[in-house]
Chain A
Amino acid sequence: GIQVEQSPPDLILQEGANSTLRCNFSDSVNNLQWFHQNPWGQLINLFYIPSGTKQNGRLSATTVATERYSLLYISSSQTTDSGVYFCAGGSNYQLIWGAGTKLIIKP
């Protein structure tokens, strides 16, 4: 089955810094999503991005489907960006989840 690997596993940054999170997948997917889980456990869908580039405020994502990877960019980090970022890829029936990147933004 499809395997999803995320890097780095942990990231500690100062407020205002930029960061890039990576997601590699072992096979072609027609569905790729990025999520943020806050410290209270709530998962929020950030992007549905099986290919191409999207931007939403300080966050943007790029998926290069032919090379089987996706990147999530966070600019001008704020303490509220802390939490775990997951990518998930697969089909319309099932998503396979990466282990996540734990991001800590220090004030």
Chain B
Amino acid sequence: KAGVTQTPRYLIKTRGQQVTLSCSPISGHRSVSWYQQTPGQGLQFLFEYFSETQRNKGNFPGRFSGRQFSNSRSEMNVSTLELGDSALYLCASSPIAKNIQYFGAGTRLSVL
């Protein structure tokens, strides 16, 4: 089985722009979770989707949004980028029965 695929791997944007990141889960996995990782901050939970529904959301401003499609692929969008949004964004997928998370390689976003 192919693993979790995140695109793009690297992204450079300027303040005020918006960005869309993509995550394709492992085949058969219907849950997708998104995390932000910054140096010294560990992993911060953004949101989790299951069957196109957002089931849980972390403590991030409304500039961070996401969605999930019928094929379980997920996108997250960050609008009006700020310098502090520079981070590694990680996506994880899980099978239905248990929340065992399998991660993609991440998208490294730099905001200049």
Complex contact B42–A94 (CB within 8 A): no
How many interface residues does B have (CB within 8 Å)? 21
Complex contact A45–B101 (CB within 8 A): yes
Take A41-B88, A43-B90, A86-B42 as given contacts and tell me if A93 and B102 are in contact as well, using a CB distance cutoff of 8 Å.
no
Q: Which residue of A lies closest to B45 (CB)?
A: A94
* Chain B contact surface mostly: strand
Contact with A along B2-43 (1 / 0, CB 8 A): 000000000000000000000000000000010101000011
A53 CA / B92 CA spacing, docked (Å): 25
Query: A74 an interface residue at 8 Å Cβ cutoff?
Result: no
A7 CA / B103 CA spacing, docked (Å): 23
Spell out A's residues near B (CB within 8 Å).
Answer: 31, 33, 35, 40-45, 48, 86, 88, 90-100
